[in-house]
Structure 1
Amino acid sequence: MSASLTAKGRFTVSAVDYESGLPQLRLVRETVFVQEQGVPVSLEWDDLDPRCHHVLALDADGAPIGTGRLTPEHKIGRMAVLSDWRGHGVGEALLHALIDQARSQGWHEISLHAQASAIGFYARHGFLPQGPRFEEAGIEHQTMRRLLDGPNPVESHDAAVAALLGVIGTARRHLWLYSRELDPGLLDRPDVMTALRRFATRGGETRILLQDVLAPQSAHAPLIALSQRLPSAFLFRVIEETVDRAYPSAFACNDAGGWYFRLLGHRTDGETRIDQPARARQLENVFEPFWERARPCTEYRALGI
C-alpha cells in the first residue's frame, strides 16, 4: 500500500481482491464510465474482471476515489478517478501501483488502450503509441505500450512526440537537448511547447545545443519566442567546431533518468526510457563537452535584453 498527501487530502492506493472490493470498484467505475461517459454497463464489466489484478484508491475516510486493473493479457485498463479528485495525483499513483504489479509478476512489457485525451498522461509515464487510433465504446482510443526492462523503440512520429513528452515531463530541475535545428515537427508541437513551458515555470532549466541557428529563426520556431519570455529557463549554444559538427546523433535527457536518443539526428526513430539514470548520465556527459566548446547563441536574444 502507498499513501500520498495532497492539497485535496490524504489518499492511499493498494491492491484489492475482486470479490471483496467489487462494491467499491463498481462505485467508481460506473460513476466515471457509465454515468459520465455513457459506456453501457454491459460493456463496462467483462469476463476478465475476476481474473485481473485490481488496485483501489481510498480517501482518508476510506471512501473509494479511483480504480485500475491489470489483465492476464498484460494490459492496464479501467483507469478511473472520481471528478473531485482529478488533478491530485491519484491517477499517477494508480498507474505506478499497476506497473509495480506487472514487475512483480516478472512481465517484460505492458500495454493499454488510452482515451485520446489521456495520451499525454501515459506518455509522461513512458508509454508510446502504437498503430492508428480507434473507437472503443464510442470513444477515440490509442494503443500504447511500455517495455519494463529495456529501452522502448521509437518507430513513428507519434512515438517520437510521446518519447519527448516523457523526458520533459519526468525532469526534475535540468533538461538537456541536443538538436540539429530545433527539430521541426517535434519541438514546435503545441503539446511539447506546453510541457516545456510547464517545466520552465516550475523552475527548471533547459540547455539546448544547435548545429544550425538560422533555420529555426527563419521558421519562427515557437521555442525561440518562449525562451525570450523566460530567458533564465532556456539557454542556447551553437556548435561551431568542425569535429563537433560531425556528431550525427541527437538526444534529450534529464536529471531523473529519462532519455530519448536518435542515432541519426535528422530522423525521429530511436530509443527511449524514463527510468535509466546511468544512460541519462552518459548522454549528459556527451552533452557537456560540446556545451563547453560551443558559443552562446546571441541571435535568439530578445531586443532590449
Structure 2
Amino acid sequence: MDTQGFGVDTVDYETALPDLRTVRETVFVQEQRVPLELEWDALDPQCVHVLARDAAGQPIGTGRLTPEHKIGRMAVLAPWRGRGVGDALLLALLAAARERGWREVSLHAQVSARDFYARHGFLPLGERFEEAGIEHQTMRLLLDAANPVESREAAVAAAVGVIAGARRQLHIYSRELDPGLLDATGVLAALRRFATNGGEVQVLLQHATAPQRRGAPLIGLGQRLPSAFAFRVIEEPVDLEYPSAYLVNDGGGYLFRSLGHRFDGETRLDAPARVRQLRATFDEPWQRGRPCSEFRALGI
C-alpha cells in the first residue's frame, strides 16, 4: 500500500471478479446507465486487469488491457476521484503493455476524459462516436517513441500533455502565439493550473503585433499572472528565419512542429535528450530577444 492510501495490482480475473464487479457496475451501470449486458463481454477473461484497493483492501478502481492492445473499463469510485487513482491505474496498464513488448496502445475515451489521457501522452484519432449512449473519442499512444501529431485536436492534446508534465519550467517558441493551439480552452486551462501552482513560463515570439491585435487570450493570462509568464520578441533577422514552433518542459516532454504555421508535428513525454536539443535552440534567441513590453502595457 502506498502513502496515498491505496495500491494498484495486476489481478487474476476469476479471483478478482467480485471486486471488479463492485467498481465497474457502480460506475458504469449505476452512475452512467450503461446496460449491464454491455458492460461485461467475452474479452474480459482474456484481458489483463488491474485493481486499486484502499488501505482496508476494499476495491476503489479498475481498468483492463485487451488482447487487441486496447485500454478500457477505466473506472474509479466517486469518493476516490481526483486523488491519483486513475493515473496509477493507467500507468500500471501501460507498464503491462511494455512488459509484453507492445509498441502502441489505444482506447476509447469518454469525451469528458480526453484531457486525462492527453496528460499521459494519448492523442485523439479520427472522429468522435457514440458508444453505450456516451460520446467517445479514439485515442492512441506509441510507447517509447515519438507520436505523430496529425490534426489540430491532436496538437491541442499534445500541448496539454507537455504542460501537465512540466515540473517548474515550460518554454514556448511560437510565431504569433499560435491561434488554434495556444488559445484552445484545454491548453489555456493547463497553463493556468501550471502557473498558479508556481510554474514559470517563458514565451518567445517572432511577432507580437498580430496576437496583440486579435487579443490572444494568452496575453491576458500573462497579465493576470505576471510573476509566472515572461514574453520576449525576436528581433535578429537570422532568428526570424527559424520556421518551427515547439513547447518543451523540464520533465522530458515536447511538442515540435517543423512548420510553425501548421498543427502537424510530433510529441513525446519521455525524451530528455530531444528536450535538451530544443532548449539549446531556445536559449540563444531568448537571450537576444527583447522583453515584450507592449503586452504588459495592455489593459486587462
Cα drift, residue 149 of structure 1: 2.3
CA distance in 2, matches of 1:130, 1:234: 32
Count how many residue pairs are aligned between Structure 1 and Structure 2.
Answer: 300
Cα drift, residue 282 of structure 1: 1.2
Q: Which amino acid aligns with 2:194?
A: F
Q: Is the 8 A contact 1:11 1:60 kept in 2?
A: yes
Q: 1:228 aligned to 211, 223, 232, which one?
A: 223
1:40 corresponds to? 35
Partner deviation per Cα, 1:88-112 (whole Å, 9 max, x = no partner): 0000000000000000000000000
SS in 1 for 2:193: helix
Q: Is the 8 A contact 1:128 1:145 kept in 2?
A: yes
Q: Which amino acid aligns with 2:21?
A: R
Residue 272 of structure 1 pairs with residue 260 of structure 2: no
TM-score (norm 1): 0.97
In structure 1, the gaps of 5 or more residues are: none
Equivalences for residues 45-84 of structure 1 within 5 A: 45-84=40-79
RMSD: 1.1
TM-score (norm 2): 0.98
Cα drift, residue 190 of structure 1: 1.4
CA distance in 1, matches of 2:140, 2:299: 47
Cα drift, residue 277 of structure 1: 1.0
SS in 2 for 1:181: coil
CA distance in 1, matches of 2:83, 2:297: 37
Equivalences for residues 199-238 of structure 1 within 5 A: 199-238=194-233
**Counterparts in 2 of 1:260 and 1:40: CA distance versus 1, 3 Å:** same
Q: Is the 8 A contact 1:228 1:302 kept in 2?
A: no
Partner deviation per Cα, 1:179-202 (whole Å, 9 max, x = no partner): 000000111111111110000011
Cα drift, residue 4 of structure 1: 3.6
**Counterparts in 2 of 1:212 and 1:136: CA distance versus 1, 3 Å:** same
CA distance in 2, matches of 1:303, 1:264: 29
**Runs of 4+, deviation exceeding 6 Å:** none
SS in 1 for 2:248: strand
Cα drift, residue 303 of structure 1: 6.0
Cα drift, residue 257 of structure 1: 0.6
Residue 90 of structure 1 pairs with residue 85 of structure 2: yes
Cα drift, residue 60 of structure 1: 0.3
CA distance in 2, matches of 1:191, 1:302: 26
SS in 2 for 1:149: coil
Residue 154 of structure 1 pairs with residue 149 of structure 2: yes
Cα drift, residue 304 of structure 1: 9.2
